[in-house]
């Protein structure tokens, strides 16, 4: 069978003379790149993880990353207004470069950390007769190739628009700067990895990468909501007075040359900033080349082992735990699920962005209102009920509790005679509420109470009780499995309709709460009803559901 | 004869068209260490998985601790410990978190499991990674963790599948002592492995499975009396494998063609 060849490599073949001159063994490098690209096709980029192929059938392999470029292309349209509006370059271009840097860098960390940090290279390639120079060049070409595609997708349209709007000089500056920026980003990323590895071990680094992935997913979800609204807020007449701390903000360096060459502002600050834009990326790249050996050395720490200190539960934690979970199996399951939610990276990547989303969405809703009416009016209104939107995260997370990237570990449930499954499920649901939902909800409540006053505290309690009850309801509508025992790929397309359907159940709760506001003592009555339903319903409902399944 | 721990009668199992177990009969008594051996694909792991309830749809009768396991009562598993080959664990947990979780699922008190787990890991020389994530463990450490997790609840019957995989020579010696001591305390051990000299030394009884059937059953001395030679040679003879020399020779000659 013929190994797949790539068009991109055929393009690269044209540059063979360059690599030969560098002393790189081109045919070996080409082989390495070919294998790496085949592996890339079997990886799913962060942006796509929500709709990963789910039916389990083997589709034709195609590079997920290249497909994800469409998303970036779409996002690039949001940059257009900043290109078209006015000639306040320092401000506009800092904003644009800020966005580009953020997007490229987070994508770099989330999707190419595997390229930069592949320790398999060490065992597989370094043991073979290939010189280091060739291996490093292969790595760099590999990263550069994707970075090139990514920036092209992200800025292609805006740059062309700029060419028409601002002329050829604008275009030229942009192209040169983008190359510098990309170099800078590769170096910065590598240096950050190095710094992290210097102080922590590989597990910590993987955690940090995981958080960057979460932030990327979240900012894309929120980005669409915010960006569109932000055009109104951005004041393009803003007068930009250079301050000394601007020297430390890279996007401003990159914006300075526009101001210099297009607006003819040759103030010392502009010159210094522009020089920074050119010199610092080049200097950091040279530094990086010298640091590569120590980078490789620090990569060894990726798989190294650090003994960790014991983390003991305090007395208070212990008694709280006993209060929340009376039963021992329930407690064990509560702790287990809590740790899984905290440390299982696949799970976090799928669940945390939507948790973040549920913090943001209630605000997006009433910021519109705040903009259009006086603050006192908002504070006196019933708008705090938008906190119900925090609940939309519950159905998908409850569904996700069945899944895990480490699902294979679930054999343990079968070997151990788990007789009170009820307690396992109850513990898992409680872990979700306590470990994931409560922190978010408390944060939201504090902010809401600050805006709307302490008068809404009873309402906040009602919404929290409703959330607990709603979690239970979501569980009742779900297929029963052991927690964390199925691969994410087993999640079905139909699940999203399911989740949507479950979200509709929030409406009657919202309605009841709203009605209760118009009755004297209505909300306290409602609160008691909810509390009673929760206390008596919890075990009964879980037990009932399990019984139905066994029959 | 001492107490019967496990009895299998005419156990058969199909995977699709293929018959993997073709009528296995076996009686195991308290305190025995059974060396359960056989070539790849003979049905060893399948037998163990059926015994543990990980595989269903078999025919025949299996009694563990005198009770039929097909009646849906899974409480017999409380007295079983299992070390699977190539086991996946929730490796984002720390050793402490994993072991206490497993112990508590067996119904042990949290403090007791913690005390036992810590002590056992210390004795196995991996106490310092008690609070480290399993993902960063070496192969040997992982294996030790699995062994400990199978013993936390003081089981009566142990199923071990290549348990010494990845352990260093010193740890293997410790482990052999542990097995001998467990058997002396009346525990029953089912030991599957491909490492014949270890099986030969530790087993009080050897059961050889070939193509879904038991082809030899007895102590090593008894087998030797019948067949002669080392366990490895007995294994070769009984599984009808003679051409290893020729295959070896041809393999090397192909290697030399450059």
DSSP A181-221: HHHHHHHHHHHHHHHHHHHS-HHHHHHHHHHHHHHHHHHHH
Residues of chain B with Cβ-Cβ distance to A484 below 8 Å are: 90
Cβ contact B129–A307 (<8 Å):
yes
Torsion region of A86: left, alpha or beta (phi above 0 gives left; psi -120 to 50 gives alpha): left
**Per-residue pLDDT in tens (0 to 9) along chain B, 258 residues:** 568 899 999 999 888 888 888 889 999 999 999 999 888 888 888 898 888 887 878 889 999 988 888 877 778 888 899 998 877 888 888 899 899 888 888 888 888 999 999 999 999 999 999 988 888 888 999 999 999 999 999 999 999 998 998 899 999 999 999 999 999 999 999 999 888 888 888 999 999 988 888 888 888 888 888 877 888 888 888 888 888 889 999 999 999 987
Q: Does B92 touch chain A (CB under 8 A)?
A: yes
From B80's Cα to the closest Cα of chain A, the distance in A is 8
What is the rounded distance in angstroms from the CA atom of residue A401 to the CA atom of residue A424? 12
Q: Which of A205, A322, A332 best probes binding to B when mutated, by most B CB atoms within 10 angstroms?
A: A332
**Residue A194 CB neighbour total at 10 angstroms:** 16
Nearest CA in chain A to B101: A332
Residues of chain B with Cβ-Cβ distance to A344 below 8 Å are: 90, 92
Burial class of residue A408, CB neighbours in 10 A (0-12, 13-18, 19+): middle
Q: Are A101 and A181 in contact (CB under 8 A)?
A: yes
From A311's Cα to the closest Cα of chain B, the distance in A is 8
Q: Does B55 touch chain A (CB under 8 A)?
A: no
Of A345, A338, A350, the residue nearest A495 (C-alpha): A350
From B223's Cα to the closest Cα of chain A, the distance in A is 33
Query: Which of B53, B128, B138 has the CB atom closest to A307's CB atom?
Result: B128
From A415's Cα to the closest Cα of chain B, the distance in A is 6
pLDDT digits (tens, 9 = 90+) for A464-523: 999 999 999 998 888 778 888 888 777 776 677 888 888 889 999 999 999 988 888 888
Q: Does B59 touch chain A (CB under 8 A)?
A: no
CA-based radius of gyration for chain B = 20
Nearest CA in chain A to B51: A415
Cβ contact A412–B104 (<8 Å):
no
Of B154, B152, B156, the residue nearest B29 (C-alpha): B156
Cβ contact B94–A335 (<8 Å):
no
Cβ contact B53–A414 (<8 Å):
yes
Cβ contact A409–B91 (<8 Å):
yes
Residue A54 pLDDT? 41
Q: Does B129 touch chain A (CB under 8 A)?
A: yes
Angle formed by the axes of helices B95-105 and B139-151, nearest 10°: 20
Q: Does B74 touch chain A (CB under 8 A)?
A: yes
Q: Are B46 and B22 in contact (CB under 8 A)?
A: no
Cβ contact B105–A201 (<8 Å):
no
Nearest CA in chain B to A423: B105
From B228's Cα to the closest Cα of chain A, the distance in A is 39
Q: Are B236 and B208 in contact (CB under 8 A)?
A: no
pLDDT digits (tens, 9 = 90+) for A23-51: 888 888 888 888 887 777 776 666 655 44
Nearest CA in chain B to A550: B72
Q: Are A224 and A321 in contact (CB under 8 A)?
A: no
Residue A528 pLDDT? 93
From B76's Cα to the closest Cα of chain A, the distance in A is 8
Residue B250 pLDDT? 93
Residues of A with CB under 8 A from a CB of B: 201-203, 303-311, 328-329, 331-332, 335-336, 339-340, 343-345, 404, 406, 408-409, 411-419, 484
**Residue A26 CB neighbour total at 10 angstroms:** 18
Query: Which of A310, A339, A419 has the CB atom closest to B93's CB atom?
Result: A339
Residues of chain B with Cβ-Cβ distance to A416 below 8 Å are: 77, 102, 105-106
From A280's Cα to the closest Cα of chain B, the distance in A is 37
Q: Are A256 and A273 in contact (CB under 8 A)?
A: yes
**Per-residue pLDDT in tens (0 to 9) along chain A, 551 residues:** 456 677 788 888 888 888 888 888 888 888 888 888 777 777 666 665 544 444 444 445 556 667 777 878 888 887 787 777 766 777 778 888 888 888 888 887 777 776 777 767 766 777 677 777 788 888 888 888 888 888 888 888 888 888 888 888 888 888 888 888 888 888 888 888 888 877 777 777 788 888 888 887 787 777 766 655 555 555 555 556 666 777 777 888 888 888 888 878 788 878 888 888 889 988 988 888 788 777 777 776 666 666 666 666 677 888 888 888 888 888 989 999 999 998 888 888 888 888 888 888 887 777 766 667 777 777 777 888 888 988 988 998 898 888 888 888 888 888 887 778 888 899 999 999 999 999 999 999 999 898 888 888 999 999 999 999 999 999 888 877 888 888 877 777 667 788 888 888 999 999 999 998 888 888 899 999 999 999 888 888 888 888 766 53
Residue whose structure tokens are 């050829």: A168
Cβ contact A332–B105 (<8 Å):
yes
From A310's Cα to the closest Cα of chain B, the distance in A is 6
Residue A551 pLDDT? 39
207-236 in B: which are within 8 Å (CB) of A?
none
Residue A56 pLDDT? 41
Residues of chain A with Cβ-Cβ distance to B100 below 8 Å are: 332, 335
Q: State phi, psi for A124 to the nearest 5 degrees.
A: -85, -45
What is the rounded distance in angstroms from the CA atom of residue A92 to the CA atom of residue A83? 7
From A285's Cα to the closest Cα of chain B, the distance in A is 32
pLDDT digits (tens, 9 = 90+) for B236-250: 888 888 888 899 999
Q: Please tell me whether residue A86 adopts helix, strand or coil conformation.
A: coil
SS (H, E, C) chain B: CCCEEEEEEEEEEEECCEEEEEEEEEEEECCCEEEEECCCCCCHHHHHHHHCCCCCCEEEEEEECCEEHHHCCCHHHHHEEEECCCCCCCCCCEHHHHHHHHHHHCCCCHHHHHHHHHHHHHHCCCHHHCCCEHHHCCHHHHHHHHHHHHHCCCCCEEEEECCCCCCCHHHHHHHHHHHHHHHHCCCEEEEECCCHHHHHHHCCEEEEEECCEEEEEECHHHHHHHHCCCHHHHHHHHCCCCCHHHHHHHHHHHHCCC
Could you tell me the two tokens for A418? 């788990």
Residues of chain B with Cβ-Cβ distance to A413 below 8 Å are: 105
Residue A371 pLDDT? 67
A-B CB pairs within 8 A amount to 102
Q: Which of A417, A420, A421, A425 best probes binding to B when mutated, by most B CB atoms within 10 angstroms?
A: A417
Could you tell me the two tokens for A320? 């709280």
The pTM of the full predicted model, rounded to 2 decimals, is 0.74
Query: Which of B77, B110, B135 has the CB atom closest to A415's CB atom?
Result: B77
Strand pairing class (B205-210; B33-37): parallel
Query: Which of A305, A412, A414 has the CB atom closest to B102's CB atom?
Result: A412
From B227's Cα to the closest Cα of chain A, the distance in A is 38
CA dist A368 to A358, A371, A380, Å?
A: 17, 5, 16
Q: Are B56 and B11 in contact (CB under 8 A)?
A: no
Cβ contact B92–A306 (<8 Å):
no
The DSSP code for A405 is: T
What is the rounded distance in angstroms from the CA atom of residue A105 to the CA atom of residue A44? 18
Could you tell me the two tokens for A22? 């560098």
Cβ contact A406–B105 (<8 Å):
no
Query: Which of B109, B110, B131 has the CB atom closest to A309's CB atom?
Result: B131
Residues of chain A with Cβ-Cβ distance to B52 below 8 Å are: 414-415
């Amino acid at each position: 069978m013929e190994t797949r060849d790539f068009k991109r490599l055929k393009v690269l073949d044209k540059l063979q003379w360059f690599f030969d001159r560098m002393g790189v063994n081109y045919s070996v490098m080409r082989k390495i790149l070919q294998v790496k690209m085949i592996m890339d096709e079997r990886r799913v980029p962060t942006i796509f993880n929500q709709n990963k192929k789910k039916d389990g059938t083997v589709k034709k392999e195609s590079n997920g990353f290249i497909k994800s470029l469409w998303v970036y292309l779409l996002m690039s349209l949001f940059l257009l207004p900043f290109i078209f509006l006015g000639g306040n370059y320092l401000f506009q271009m800092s904003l644009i470069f800020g966005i580009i840097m953020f997007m490229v860098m987070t994508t770099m960390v989330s999707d190419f950390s595997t390229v930069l940090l592949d320790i398999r290279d060490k065992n597989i390639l370094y043991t073979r007769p290939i010189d280091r120079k060739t291996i490093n060049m292969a790595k760099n070409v590999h990263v550069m190739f994707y970075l090139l595609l990514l920036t092209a997708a992200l800025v292609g349209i805006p740059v062309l628009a700029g060419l028409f709007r601002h002329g050829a000089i604008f275009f030229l500056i942009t192209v040169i700067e983008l190359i510098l920026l990309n170099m800078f980003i590769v170096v910065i990323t590598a240096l950050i990895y190095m710094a992290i590895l210097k102080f922590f071990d590989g597990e910590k680094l993987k955690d940090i990468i995981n958080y960057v992935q979460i932030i990327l997913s979240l900012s894309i979800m929120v980005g669409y909501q915010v960006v569109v609204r932000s055009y109104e807020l951005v004041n393009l007449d803003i007068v930009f007075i250079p301050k000394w701390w601007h020297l430390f903000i890279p996007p401003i360096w990159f914006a300075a040359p526009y101001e210099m060459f297009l607006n003819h502002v040759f103030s010392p600050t502009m010159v210094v900033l522009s020089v920074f834009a050119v010199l610092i990326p080049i200097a950091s790249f040279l530094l990086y080349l010298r640091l590569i050996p120590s980078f490789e050395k620090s990569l060894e720490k990726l798989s190294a082992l650090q003994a960790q200190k014991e983390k003991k539960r305090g007395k208070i934690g212990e008694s709280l735990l006993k209060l929340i979970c009376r039963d021992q199996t329930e407690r064990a399951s509560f702790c287990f699920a809590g740790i899984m939610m905290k440390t299982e990276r696949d799970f976090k990547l799928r669940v945390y962005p939507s948790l973040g989303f549920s913090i943001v969405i209630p605000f997006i809703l009433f910021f519109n209102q705040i903009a259009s009416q006086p603050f006192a009016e908002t504070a006196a209104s019933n708008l705090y009920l938008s906190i119900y939107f925090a609940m939309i995260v519950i159905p998908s997370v409850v569904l996700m509790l069945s899944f895990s990237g480490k699902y294979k570990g679930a054999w343990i449930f079968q070997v151990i005679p788990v007789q009170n499954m009820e307690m396992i499920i109850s513990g898992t649901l409680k872990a979700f509420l306590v470990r994931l939902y409560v922190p978010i909800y408390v944060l939201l409540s504090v902010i809401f109470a600050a805006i709307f006053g302490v008068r809404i505290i009873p309402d906040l309690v009602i919404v929290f009780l409703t959330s607990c009850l709603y979690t239970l309801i979501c569980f009742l509508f779900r297929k029963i499995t052991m927690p964390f025992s199925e691969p994410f790929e087993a999640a079905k397309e139909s699940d999203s309709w399911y989740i949507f359907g479950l979200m509709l159940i929030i409406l009657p709760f919202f309605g009841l709460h709203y009605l209760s506001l118009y009755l004297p003592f209505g909300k306290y009555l409602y609160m008691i009803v909810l509390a009673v339903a929760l206390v008596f319903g919890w075990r009964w409902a879980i037990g009932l559901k399990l019984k139905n399944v066994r029959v | 004869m001492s107490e019967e721990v496990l009895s299998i009668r005419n156990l058969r199992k199909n995977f699709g068209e293929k018959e993997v177990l073709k009528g296995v009969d076996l009686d195991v008594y308290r305190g025995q260490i059974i060396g359960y051996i056989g070539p790849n694909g003979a049905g060893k792991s399948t037998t163990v998985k059926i015994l543990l309830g990980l595989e269903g749809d078999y025919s025949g009768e299996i009694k563990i601790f005198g009770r039929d396991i097909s009646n849906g009562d899974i409480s017999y598993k409380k007295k079983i410990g299992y070390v699977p080959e190539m086991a996946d664990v929730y490796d984002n947990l720390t050793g402490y978190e994993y072991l206490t979780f497993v112990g508590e699922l067996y119904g042990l008190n949290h403090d007791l499991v913690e005390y036992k787990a810590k002590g056992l890991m210390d004795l196995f020389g991996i106490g310092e990674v008690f609070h480290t994530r399993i993902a960063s463990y070496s192969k040997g450490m992982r294996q030790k963790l699995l062994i400990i997790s199978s013993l936390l609840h003081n089981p009566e019957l142990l199923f071990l599948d290549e348990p010494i995989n990845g352990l260093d020579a010193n740890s293997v010696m410790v482990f052999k002592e542990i097995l001998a001591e467990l058997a002396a305390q009346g525990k029953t051990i089912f030991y599957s492995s491909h490492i014949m000299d270890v099986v030969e030394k530790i087993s009080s009884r050897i059961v050889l499975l070939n193509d879904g059937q038991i082809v030899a059953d007895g102590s090593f001395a008894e087998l030797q009396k019948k067949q002669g030679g080392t366990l490895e040679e007995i294994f070769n003879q009984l599984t009808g494998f003679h051409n290893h020399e020729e295959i070896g020779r041809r393999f090397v000659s192909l290697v030399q063609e450059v």
